[in-house]
Chains A and B, each alone.
Chain A
Amino acid sequence: MKIAVCVKQVVTRDWPVRVDDAGRWVRDRDAGFEMNEPDAYALEEALRLKEQHGGEVIVCSAGPPRVSQVLREALARGADRAIHVESDTLATADALTVGKALADALRPEAPDLVLTGLQSDDQGFGQTGVVLAELLGISHSTIIMEVEVSGEAQIRVKRELEGGWFQWVVMPLPSLLTIQSGINQLRYATLSGIMAAKKKEVRTVEPEAPARESHQKIVELYVPEKRKKTRFIEGSSTEVAQELVRVLREDARVF
């Protein structure tokens, strides 16, 4: 089975993000970057499916040159080869623009299965995978908690619904799945994996249609207005602990 996984590179969770001077994006010039965590679960699921059923895992990412870092990491974890859709503007683009770039890169590969995370930690569209499926002309299912390969060209997947409900869905291959975080336990790259990754192919492609046309424009990015007045308690650990216990007991009366 040929499995493609789309991963996004995002600013690390620990980075104290601040809005940039233009007020349209965050100041990320000196930031650390990492693989979007939901995409890491999609990669892990692809590696497990390959281990069970054989085949190949191709990892694909769209963005500036720095994106090659997450591709190398995916290769170190066990992906076979990588495609880098290189473009500075794709890092901040909308889901349709990114979907088109990824679709153009993946179409010639004709994968049996495409996996993505369910959303990204930065823009959080929660739709790039679904958009990609439509552009590739393949079926899809979202927020997947389990994947069974149930026949030659068929899969059975467990969707998470709301309120604790689940549902199995049978679909023909090729298909695209957006993977729910927590579906599996992530593996980390081993030293031998990191060494092996150096010999693996990373193919860089230009986006076919330059991402000139944008479908959604960020007019302004800003800190949300506070709706609640928070009383911050300050002092040493012992002082704040004693004061908090006092206000919870006397003011909030929660015990």
Chain B
Amino acid sequence: MILVVAEQREGVLNRVTWECVATAQKLEAQGSGPVKVVVVGASVTAVADEVAAAEVAEVLVVDDVALEPYTSDGFVNALTQVIDTEEPEVVVFPHTYQTRDFAPTLATRRQRTLVTDCIGFKSGPDGARFVRPMFQGKFVADIAVQGPAPHFASFQIGAYRAEAAARGANPAPTRRIEIALDLADIRQRPEAPFKEAKQAVDLTQAARIVAVGRGIKGQEHLPIVQELAKALDAEVAASRPICDAGWLPIDRQVGSSGQTVAPKLYLAIGISGAIQHLVGMKGARTIVAVNKDADTPIFEVADYGIVGDLFDVIPALTAALGN
């Protein structure tokens, strides 16, 4: 049996759950058994009903007041009991921050390993091989999990399309699983989530974006990028390291921990294209990359590529636009 761990927050299903259902259905086609989905939280009946539209064998519901708000201890204790009784062969998670917070603990408690950040799978002689990026996306690796089931894998957002999830003619049966949770075992005491001061820059509305990465080498070189942006009537954006270093404010950051953008033009300058960045910009209509390394992953998604020294190319580009 393949168990999909649904993600929800305050009774709202995270769409990535459908991507995981699609993933599990593809695994099922390879012979890993029927698909079940488990919904964990408090007052999650509506979420379970929504998931039950999927063509799956069963939707399992763990509903307990101790599971809201989310804590890693609460989720690990609850899901450990589900896995003990249901004995899945494969457990599938979306590779979200929440999964990253509890799934490694869950696997470790069972003396098992979690394959994180998967982008696909293949069939191997000894079961599924999980495909995941390594070295910041420069390479991918086929991973064979050693040892007995259950095997745990988290799938990157966008690895499979949510629309690909098959829906059943009738809703899937739902079943409540009663678990024993002791509040005293939950060590984390979370406060209410909040947002920082409103973002000053809304990159999602920009028609053209000039984004800069590590290749710029120093804050003192930023003006050449800003001049190009001005010539293009574009917003300046950055990859995470630039904002971490404080060279540009965090509201200019594009990627999984920043903004997700889809401009007409995205010009990536000195950005290697780690997956955390690509997820934030691969929806751009036209992508241009300037980088000194022809093998860097940004060229995986680029429509136009220039392999060269950005300190020569960018001023030349600004000059060419002026003509």
Which residues in A have some Cβ–Cβ distance to B below 8 Å? 11, 13, 16-17, 19, 26, 37, 41, 94-96, 99, 121-127, 130-131, 133-135, 139-143, 159-162, 164-172, 175, 180-182, 185, 213-224, 226-228, 230-234, 237-238, 240-242, 244-245, 247-248, 252, 254-255
Contacts and interface: CB of A to CB of B under 8 A. Distances in A.
Contacts of B245: 182
A244 B73 contact: no
For B116, B129, B315, the residue with the greatest tally of chain A CB atoms inside 10 Å of its CB is B116
Contact of A233 (B105, B191, B207, B304): B304
B304 A230 contact: yes
A230 B299 CA distance: 7
A169 to B, nearest CB: 5
Interface of B: 72-73, 96-98, 100-101, 103-105, 107-109, 112-117, 124, 129, 133-147, 187-196, 199, 207-208, 214, 232-233, 240-241, 243-246, 250, 256-257, 264-265, 285-286, 288-289, 293-295, 297, 299-309, 312-313, 315-317, 319-321
B190 A161 contact: no
B70 to A, nearest CB: 9
Nearest to B96: A162
Contact of A238 (B286, B316, B321): B316
Query: In terms of DSSP, what is the predominant structure of the interface of chain A?
Result: mixed
6 tightest CB-CB pairs across the interface, nearest first?
Answer: A182-B244, A215-B113, A127-B104, A139-B187, A241-B316, A254-B265
A96 to B, nearest CB: 5
A224 B133 contact: yes
Contacts of B104: 95, 127, 130-131, 134
Contact of B233 (A13, A95, A252, A255): A255
Contacts of B188: 139, 141, 169-171
B105 A16 contact: no
Given A143-B100, A242-B320, A226 B193 contact: no
A175 B96 CA distance: 22
A171 B189 contact: yes
A90 to B, nearest CB: 15
Nearest to A133: B105
A214 B146 CA distance: 7
Contacts of A215: 112-113, 145-147
A130 B101 CA distance: 7
Nearest to B310: A237
Nearest to B71: A169
Given A169-B189, A171-B189, A230-B302, A248 B265 contact: yes
B307 to A, nearest CB: 7
A150 B14 CA distance: 33
Contacts of B143: 216-219
Contact of A171 (B187, B244, B297): B187
A214 to B, nearest CB: 6
Contacts of A164: 195-196, 199
A165 B194 contact: yes
B97 A167 contact: no
